[in-house]
């Protein structure tokens, strides 16, 4: 089975622009989470979605938004990009929502560079 897939793999934007990142979970998984990993740091939680509903949000500004589609794929949108948004954005999927004992499986990430 295919793992978590993300697109695009790399992206270059300029300050003030908007970006959309995409994620397809492992087949059968209904939960998707998004993380931001800045160089030299561990991943920071942004959002979790389960069955198309937002279940949790990390300490990120409203410029960050996400949604989950009926096929459980997800998009992460970032508006008004700042230089500090440059990072590796990771998507993770699990079969159920958090609170269960499920493992999150991560995709390869999208590397975003804001100039």
Please, which residue, 38 or 80, has the CB nearer to other proteins?
38
The answer to whether 99 contacts other proteins (rule: CB under 8 A) is yes
Residue 109 in contact with other proteins, rule: CB under 8 A: yes
3-state secondary structure of 85: helix
Among 12, 17, 20, 56, binds other proteins (CB under 8 A): 56
71: preceding bond cis by omega (within 30 degrees)? no
Backbone phi and psi for residue 27, each to the nearest 5 degrees, phi listed first? -55, 130
Q: Distance between CA 88 and CA 96 in Å, rounded? A: 24
Q: Does 11 bind other proteins (CB under 8 A)?
A: no
State the minimum distance, in angstroms, from the CB of residue 90 to other proteins.
6
Our finding on whether 73 is near other proteins (CB under 8 A) is no
Among 21, 32, 48, 114, binds other proteins (CB under 8 A): 48
If one asks whether residue 28 binds other proteins (CB under 8 A), the answer comes out as: no
Kindly report the three-state secondary structure assignment for every residue of 21-82. Answer: EEEECCCCCCEEEEEEECCCCCCEEEEEEECCEEEEECCCCCCEEEEECCCCCEEEEECCCC
Residues that bind other proteins (CB under 8 A): 4, 6, 33, 35, 40-45, 48, 55-56, 58, 90, 92, 97-99, 101, 103-109, 111
């Amino acid at each position: 089975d295919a793992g978590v897939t993300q697109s695009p793999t790399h992206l270059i934007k300029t300050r003030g622009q908007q970006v959309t990142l995409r994620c397809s979970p492992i087949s059968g998984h209904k939960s998707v989470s998004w993380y931001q990993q800045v160089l030299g740091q561990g991943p920071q939680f942004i959002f979790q979605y389960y069955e198309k509903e937002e279940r949790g949000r990390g300490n990120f500004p409203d410029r960050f938004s996400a949604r989950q589609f009926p096929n459980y794929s997800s998009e992460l949108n970032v508006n008004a990009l700042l230089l500090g948004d440059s990072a590796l954005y990771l998507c993770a999927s699990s079969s159920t929502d958090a609170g269960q004992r499920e493992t999150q499986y991560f995709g390869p990430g999208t590397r975003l560079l804001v100039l």
